[in-house]
Structure 1
Amino acid sequence: MSFDLNHKFWVSTRKEIGQLIKKQNRLKKIQPPEEKAVSFKIFAELYVLYVELVDKLSFIYHNTFQVQKRALVRVLVESATQQLMQLKEELKDLEMSEYIYIDKALIARKLTPRDLVIWRSPQFLYRRPLDIQNIITDNRLYMNDEEKEEKAAQDWAPISEAVKLIQAHERARRARVYKSNIKYDKKKFLKVHQRKKINYKFTFKPDQAMSIPVKRTIFSADFLKADESCENLIKKDDAADTALDDEEALDTIRNCAACKIQSWWRGYRTRKIVKIRKRFKEELYGMKKIRKLKRPNQKANSIMEMYKNEMLKKKLDEDFINLINDERTRLLQVRSPWMMEDISDHIRAWFKEFYDATGNFHPYPDPVKQGTVLVVIDETMTPMEFQESLGKKPLSKAEKKKLRDKEKKEKRKKKEKLKQLKMKEAKRRKKLRDAGIIDIGYEISASKPIEKIEETMKKYAKDWRNVDEYLNKNHDPIKDWVTEDELAKIHQEVRGLVDEYMRVEYELLREALAKDNNEKYKALKVKYPKKKKDKRKRKPKDMTGDRTLQSLYNELKDAGIIEEVAHRDFDEFVADFNFVADDTRDEDGLTTLGPAKGDIKMVIQESMLGMGEFDIPKPKSILLIGPLNSGKRLLCQIIASELDAVFMNLSPEKTYKYANDLKYFLHVILKVAKAFQPTIMYIEEAHRLFWKKIPPEAVEINPRLLGTSITGKILKPLKKNDKIVLVGTSNMPWAANGGIKRAFQKVLLIPKCDYGTSFLLWLEMMTENAPDDMREYAYSALARVLQAYNSGDINDNVKQTLSIDRKMRLKNEALDPNEFLEYFLSKNEPPILPPDEKLMEKFNKWFGSANKLQKLRKKYMAQKLAKASKKK
Structure 2
Amino acid sequence: MSFDLNHKLWVATRKDIGQLIKKQNRLKKLEPPEEKAISFKIFSELYVLYVELVNKLGFIYHNTFQVQKRAVVRILVESATQQLLRLKEELKGMELSEYVYIDKALVARRLTPRDLVIWRSPQFLYRRPLDVQNIVADNKLYMNDIEKVEKEAQDWVKVTEAVTLIQAHERARRARVYKSNINYDKKKFLKVLQRKKINYRFTFKPDQAMSIPVKRTIFAADFIKDVESCENLKEKIDVLEPSTDNEELERLNKLRDDAASKIQNCWRRYKTRKIMRMRSRFKEELYGMKKHRKLKRPNRFANSVLEMYKKEMLKKKLDEEYIQLITDERTRLLQMRTPWMMEDISDHIRAWFKEFYEKTGNFHPYPDPIKTGTVLVVIDETMTPLEFQDTLGKKPMTKAERQKLAEKKKAEKQKQKDKIRKQKMKDAKRRKKLKDAGIIDVAYEMTSSKAIANIEEAMKQFALDWRNIDEYLNKNHDPIKDWVTEEELAKIHQELRGLVDEYMRIEYELLRAALAKDTKTKYKAQKVKKAKAKKEKKKKKVKDMTADRTLDSLYQELKDEGIIEEVSHKDFDEFIADFNFLANDTRDEDGLTTVGPAKGDIKMIIQESMLGMGEFDIDKPKSILLIGPLNSGKKLLCNIIASELDAVFINLSPEKVFKFADNMKYFLHVVMKVAKAFQPAILYIEEAHRVFLKKIPPELKEINPTLLASSIPKGILKNIKKTDKVVLLGTSNMPWSAKGKFKKAFQKVLLIPKCDYATSFLLWLELMTENVENMEEYAYSALARVLQAYNSGDIAQNISQTLDVSRRMRLNNEALDPNEFLEYFLSKHDEPIFPPEQKIMDKFDKWFGKSNKFLKLRRKFMAKKMAKQKKKK
Query: Quick one: which amino acid aligns to residue 117 of structure 1?
Result: V
Q: Is contact 1:293–1:760 with CA below 8 Å preserved after alignment?
A: no
What is the match of residue 491 of structure 1? 493
Query: Quick one: which amino acid aligns to residue 444 of structure 2?
Result: Y
How many residues align structurally?
A: 818
Deviation at 1:266, TM superposition (A): 2.3
User: Tell me, which stretches of 5 or more residues in structure 1 are unaligned?
Assistant: 178-233
1:822-833 to 2 correspondences below 5 Å: 822-833=823-834
Q: Is contact 2:34–2:439 with CA below 8 Å preserved after alignment?
A: yes
Residues 51 and 301 from structure 1, CA distance in 2 versus in 1: closer, same or farther, beyond 3 angstroms? farther
What is the match of residue 101 of structure 1? 101
Deviation at 1:333, TM superposition (A): 1.2
Question: What SS class does the counterpart of residue 511 from structure 1 fall into?
Answer: helix
CA distance in structure 2 between the partners assigned to 1:488 and 1:7 by the alignment: 31
CA distance in structure 1 between the partners assigned to 2:512 and 2:415 by the alignment: 42
CA distance in structure 2 between the partners assigned to 1:285 and 1:62 by the alignment: 37
Would you say 1:841 and 2:833 are equivalent positions? no
Q: Is contact 2:122–2:304 with CA below 8 Å preserved after alignment?
A: no
What is the match of residue 12 of structure 2? 12
Q: Is contact 1:769–1:802 with CA below 8 Å preserved after alignment?
A: no
Query: Quick one: which amino acid aligns to residue 457 of structure 1?
Result: M
Would you say 1:52 and 2:52 are equivalent positions? yes
Question: What SS class does the counterpart of residue 409 from structure 1 fall into?
Answer: helix
CA distance in structure 2 between the partners assigned to 1:767 and 1:172 by the alignment: 32
What is the match of residue 135 of structure 2? 135
Residues 451 and 286 from structure 1, CA distance in 2 versus in 1: closer, same or farther, beyond 3 angstroms? closer
Deviation at 1:411, TM superposition (A): 1.9
CA distance in structure 2 between the partners assigned to 1:414 and 1:732 by the alignment: 56
What is the match of residue 424 of structure 1? 426
Question: What SS class does the counterpart of residue 702 from structure 2 fall into?
Answer: helix
Deviation at 1:723, TM superposition (A): 0.6
Would you say 1:69 and 2:69 are equivalent positions? yes
Query: Quick one: which amino acid aligns to residue 21 of structure 2?
Result: I
Of 746, 752, 758, 2:754 maps to 752
CA distance in structure 1 between the partners assigned to 2:687 and 2:174 by the alignment: 59
Q: Is contact 1:690–1:740 with CA below 8 Å preserved after alignment?
A: yes
1:200-279 to 2 correspondences below 5 Å: 243=245, 252=254, 255-256=257-258, 258-279=260-281
Question: Normalising to structure 1: TM-score of the pair?
Answer: 0.89
> Which has the larger displacement, 242-251 or 380-389?
242-251
> Which has the larger displacement, 254-263 or 32-41?
254-263
Residues 174 and 298 from structure 1, CA distance in 2 versus in 1: closer, same or farther, beyond 3 angstroms? closer
1:791-839 Cα shifts (integer Å, max 9, x gaps): 0000000011001111111111111111101100111122110011111
Residues 694 and 264 from structure 1, CA distance in 2 versus in 1: closer, same or farther, beyond 3 angstroms? same
CA distance in structure 1 between the partners assigned to 2:712 and 2:492 by the alignment: 50
Deviation at 1:132, TM superposition (A): 0.8
Query: Quick one: which amino acid aligns to residue 153 of structure 1?
Result: A
CA distance in structure 2 between the partners assigned to 1:508 and 1:423 by the alignment: 57
1:98-150 Cα shifts (integer Å, max 9, x gaps): 00000001000000000000000111101100111111123999999988855
Of 697, 700, 703, 2:702 maps to 700
1:326-345 to 2 correspondences below 5 Å: 326-345=328-347
CA distance in structure 1 between the partners assigned to 2:444 and 2:697 by the alignment: 55
Residues 4 and 48 from structure 1, CA distance in 2 versus in 1: closer, same or farther, beyond 3 angstroms? same
What is the match of residue 84 of structure 2? 84
Q: Is contact 1:659–1:705 with CA below 8 Å preserved after alignment?
A: yes
Question: What SS class does the counterpart of residue 719 from structure 2 fall into?
Answer: coil
Query: Quick one: which amino acid aligns to residue 269 of structure 2?
Result: G
What is the match of residue 202 of structure 2? none
1:265-289 Cα shifts (integer Å, max 9, x gaps): 4233223212212322343455443
Deviation at 1:766, TM superposition (A): 0.6
Would you say 1:785 and 2:799 are equivalent positions? no
What is the match of residue 808 of structure 1? 809
Q: Is contact 1:242–1:249 with CA below 8 Å preserved after alignment?
A: no
RMSD, matched Cα: 3.0
Residues 139 and 102 from structure 1, CA distance in 2 versus in 1: closer, same or farther, beyond 3 angstroms? closer
CA distance in structure 2 between the partners assigned to 1:291 and 1:489 by the alignment: 64
Residues 298 and 605 from structure 1, CA distance in 2 versus in 1: closer, same or farther, beyond 3 angstroms? farther
Question: What SS class does the counterpart of residue 624 from structure 1 fall into?
Answer: strand
1:499-510 to 2 correspondences below 5 Å: 499-510=501-512
What is the match of residue 667 of structure 1? 669
CA distance in structure 2 between the partners assigned to 1:242 and 1:494 by the alignment: 123
Q: Is contact 1:120–1:298 with CA below 8 Å preserved after alignment?
A: no
Deviation at 1:92, TM superposition (A): 0.1
Q: Is contact 1:120–1:299 with CA below 8 Å preserved after alignment?
A: no
Query: Quick one: which amino acid aligns to residue 92 of structure 2?
Result: K
1:500-579 to 2 correspondences below 5 Å: 500-579=502-581
> Which has the larger displacement, 718-727 or 530-539?
530-539
User: Tell me, which stretches of 5 or more residues in structure 2 are unaligned?
Assistant: 178-235
Deviation at 1:712, TM superposition (A): 2.0
What is the match of residue 612 of structure 1? 614
What is the match of residue 641 of structure 2? 639
Question: What SS class does the counterpart of residue 725 from structure 1 fall into?
Answer: strand
Question: What SS class does the counterpart of residue 705 from structure 2 fall into?
Answer: coil
1:540-590 Cα shifts (integer Å, max 9, x gaps): 111111111111111111111111100011000000000000000000000
Residues 296 and 665 from structure 1, CA distance in 2 versus in 1: closer, same or farther, beyond 3 angstroms? closer
Query: Quick one: which amino acid aligns to residue 77 of structure 1?
Result: V
What is the match of residue 800 of structure 2? 799
1:612-646 Cα shifts (integer Å, max 9, x gaps): 11111111111111110000010011000000000
Question: Normalising to structure 2: TM-score of the pair?
Answer: 0.89
Residues 649 and 401 from structure 1, CA distance in 2 versus in 1: closer, same or farther, beyond 3 angstroms? same
1:166-210 Cα shifts (integer Å, max 9, x gaps): 789999999999xxxxxxxxxxxxxxxxxxxxxxxxxxxxxxxxx
Residues 785 and 457 from structure 1, CA distance in 2 versus in 1: closer, same or farther, beyond 3 angstroms? same
CA distance in structure 2 between the partners assigned to 1:544 and 1:239 by the alignment: 100
Deviation at 1:359, TM superposition (A): 2.0
Would you say 1:478 and 2:467 are equivalent positions? no
Deviation at 1:598, TM superposition (A): 0.3
Residues 721 and 472 from structure 1, CA distance in 2 versus in 1: closer, same or farther, beyond 3 angstroms? same
> Which has the larger displacement, 425-434 or 151-160?
151-160
Residues 173 and 561 from structure 1, CA distance in 2 versus in 1: closer, same or farther, beyond 3 angstroms? closer
Deviation at 1:460, TM superposition (A): 1.3
Query: Quick one: which amino acid aligns to residue 15 of structure 1?
Result: K
What is the match of residue 734 of structure 1? 736
1:769-793 Cα shifts (integer Å, max 9, x gaps): 31x1322100000000000000000
Deviation at 1:362, TM superposition (A): 1.4
What is the match of residue 157 of structure 1? 157
Would you say 1:855 and 2:859 are equivalent positions? no
CA distance in structure 1 between the partners assigned to 2:60 and 2:795 by the alignment: 41
CA distance in structure 2 between the partners assigned to 1:321 and 1:76 by the alignment: 23
Residues 749 and 304 from structure 1, CA distance in 2 versus in 1: closer, same or farther, beyond 3 angstroms? closer
CA distance in structure 2 between the partners assigned to 1:85 and 1:850 by the alignment: 21
Identical columns (%): 75
Deviation at 1:726, TM superposition (A): 0.7
